[in-house]
């Protein structure tokens, strides 16, 4: 069994970086500067921004389904980075963080969930995908609750 984790498409966020602070505030977004090398996880590159890097903090609908499990929360994105792609390995933003894994069926209904301590996410993902009824998994940072990444089955 293999799985794929991809960062969000940068094109959809690129216009935000051209907006001024008032324009961002009008859509409930903010320009921020990372104050440390960890704690500002970019959802495009799936890496933490480095201290001094600029990011946009915005509201993001991560689970856009017509079920009670529709979900949204704040995320960070950086400009000038490519969407990450990881096959059968975890992205750097998972390292050192407890990860909440929410496993959904093809209709977007939650089937089960798992809390993975640092170093346990890969095994938990594989265990969840052992159930053929699980179509995808949404990973969230357990402490802050923000969307980390979508994990899809990879048929390769």
Handedness of CA 137, 67, 144, 150 (dihedral sign): positive
Q: pLDDT band for position 125 (50/70/90)?
A: very high
pLDDT digits (tens, 9 = 90+) for 65-112: 999 999 999 999 999 999 999 999 999 999 999 999 999 999 999 999
Spatial separation of the C-alpha atoms in residues 146 and 151, rounded to whole Å: 15
Other C-beta atoms closer than 10 Å to the C-beta of 112 total 14
Burial class (CB in 10 A: 0-12, 13-18, 19+), 143: exposed
Spatial separation of the C-alpha atoms in residues 155 and 62, rounded to whole Å: 23
Burial class (CB in 10 A: 0-12, 13-18, 19+), 38: middle
pLDDT (average), residues 114-134: 96
Burial class (CB in 10 A: 0-12, 13-18, 19+), 141: middle
Q: pLDDT band for position 1 (50/70/90)?
A: low
What ranges do the domains of the chain cover? Answer: 2-154
pLDDT digits (tens, 9 = 90+) for 20-44: 999 999 999 999 999 999 999 999 9
Q: pLDDT band for position 154 (50/70/90)?
A: confident
Asked whether residue 155 carries a pLDDT value surpassing 80, the answer given is no
Asked whether residue 11 carries a pLDDT value surpassing 70, the answer given is yes
Asked whether residue 4 carries a pLDDT value surpassing 80, the answer given is yes
- For 94, phi then psi, to 5°, come to -80, -20
């Amino acid at each position: 069994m293999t799985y794929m984790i991809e960062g969000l498409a940068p094109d959809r966020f690129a216009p935000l970086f051209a907006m001024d602070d008032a324009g961002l505030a009008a859509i409930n977004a903010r320009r921020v500067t990372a104050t440390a090398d960890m704690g500002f996880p970019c959802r495009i590159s799936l890496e933490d921004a480095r201290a001094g890097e600029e990011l946009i903090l915005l509201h993001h609908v991560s689970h856009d389904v017509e079920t009670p499990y529709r979900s949204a929360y704040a995320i960070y994105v950086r400009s000038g980075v490519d969407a990450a792609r990881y096959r059968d390995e975890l992205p750097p933003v998972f390292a050192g963080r407890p990860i909440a894994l929410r496993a959904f069926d093809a209709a977007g209904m939650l089937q089960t969930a798992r809390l993975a301590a640092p170093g346990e996410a890969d095994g938990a993902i594989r265990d969840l995908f052992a159930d053929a009824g699980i179509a995808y998994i949404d990973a969230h940072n357990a402490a802050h609750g923000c969307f980390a990444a979508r994990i899809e089955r990879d048929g390769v």
